[in-house]
Amino acid sequence: MKFSQASRLQTLRTGVFHEIAIRQRIAEQKGLTIDLSKGSPDMGPPEVVLNALKAAVSDSRNYGYTLTGIEEFHEAVAYFYRQRYGVKLDPRTEVLQLIGSQDGLAHLPLSLMNPGDIAILPDPGYPVYEAGIKLAGGIPYLMPLLKENSFYPDFDSIPTEIAHRAKLMYLNYPGNPVNVLADEAFFRKAVDFAKRYNILLVHDFAYSELVFDGKRSTSLLAIPGAKDVSVEFNSLSKTFNMAGCRIGYIVGNEHVLQALELLKSNIDFGVFLPIQKAAVAALTSDYSSITETVKIYQERRDIFTSYLAQGGWKVEKPSATMFLWSKVPRGWTGRQFVFDVLEHTGVALTPGDAFGEMGKDYVRIALVQPIDRLIEAGERIQKFLSRFTGSPVETNVYI
């Protein structure tokens, strides 16, 4: 018997990830694949996290429902934010545990939006933003992130009628796929805009610690008055290499957190207690593991971009995240370039249009392989490119 899908699912894109997976399986059968498409860390958590997890898993009393975040976890998040970003949080009212930040990003619109409400989203942007809005019956308004504007949104270009009707605005710095940093001046503009039009700022801060060259990221909540109109999502997935543990949090405006907490109290039973204990250990550690992780990604960035440059593809070095974001060589769209590279080299990348129309001429590359595999991937891409323009590739054929 065949059952029809709910009409709300018709608003969602199946996505290019499914097509990449099919093509990747073909490459895997040939033993070729080097996967640089998924943003899943290849490194493990620090020892302090593993030890806490082992101890908690061994205690048979830790296998019941947790229902909510334990007090110790909320206090650890507040401690982390004070230490890393200079932001003071009330652990009782301004911190809410999530089953990963994506869980919260997907559910937040259901707790705040009514059908027909508008949310302003970045294009390109992480796909769950748009999916969550559409599942809640909301209407996305896409604001382009353009290179000529340093990949920041132009608030002045948002029509006044849209701004007046909008309920949410999503930001993501340092971001996925656009991997730039935002400074205090930008966030002040965002807060001013949000207050002027009574919009909630939703900042995805999952890559907050993967920042290179001695720089540091800025929390939106560090801006005076930001808590009045803002919430911030963060995660342990990238900072502490705990992606599979599925634990994260939202911080900021207490009324927004109350709404999301009410929704979640009806649909889940909390995070496994040993994972919470491991998260506490991570958030209250000496953070030396963060320094080491950043060092590894920065080295990967430098080596891999140098190999691509030798092949004629000059990819700009990002200031943050585990990704490279670059225009593809002239003559390709992002999607066709990704498919051709995968077919001819076995290196899997992600086309920029997976993140929105403004990414159609771009590609995202995840630095989630050891140096030797990245070097091999770079060499394969070099050879592939040389087939089209001679060897070595002339740099002036790229934009």
**221 vs 396, which has greater pLDDT?**
221
pLDDT at site 15: 61
Residue at a domain's end among 283, 304, 331: 283
Is 398 within the bounds of a domain?
no
Are 170 and 108 within one domain?
yes
**Residue 33 has which token pair?**
């694949």
**Residue 247 and residue 275 in contact, taking contact as beta carbons nearer than 8 Å:** yes
Cα 204 from chain centroid (whole Å): 7
pLDDT at site 393: 40
Are 88 and 186 within one domain?
yes
Are 260 and 149 within one domain?
yes
Q: Determine the average pLDDT of the residues in 65-86.
A: 97
What is the extent of the structural domain holding 299? 7-44+288-388
Is 397 within the bounds of a domain?
no
Residue 66 has pLDDT above 80, yes or no: yes
Percent of the chain with pLDDT over 90: 85
Q: What is the pLDDT of residues 6-60, one digit of tens each?
A: 888 878 876 666 777 777 777 676 667 899 998 999 999 999 999 999 999 999 9
Are 299 and 191 within one domain?
no
* CATH number assigned to the domain comprising residue 358: 3.90.1150.10
Angle at CA of residue 334, ends 364 and 352, nearest 5°: 40
By C-alpha distance, which of 237, 238, 321 is closest to 271?
237
The Cα 366–Cα 316 span in angstroms is: 14
- Place 394 in a pLDDT band, splitting at 50, 70 and 90: very low
**61 vs 388, which has greater pLDDT?**
61
Task: Centre a 10 Å sphere on the Cβ of residue 113 and count the other Cβ atoms it contains.
Answer: 21
pLDDT at site 357: 95
* CATH number assigned to the domain comprising residue 73: 3.40.640.10
Number of domains in the chain: 2
Q: What is the pLDDT of residues 275-320, one digit of tens each?
A: 999 999 999 999 999 999 999 999 999 999 998 998 889 999 999 9
Are 108 and 203 within one domain?
yes
Residue at a domain's end among 283, 311, 333: 283
Phi-psi region of 252 (alpha: psi -120 to 50; beta: other; left: phi over 0): left
Is 399 within the bounds of a domain?
no
Q: What is the pLDDT of residues 202-213, one digit of tens each?
A: 999 999 999 999
Are 21 and 126 within one domain?
no
Q: What is the pLDDT of residues 382-392, one digit of tens each?
A: 999 988 655 44
pTM beyond cutoff 0.75: yes
The Cα 283–Cα 372 span in angstroms is: 31
**Residue 234 and residue 102 in contact, taking contact as beta carbons nearer than 8 Å:** no
Is 72 within the bounds of a domain?
yes
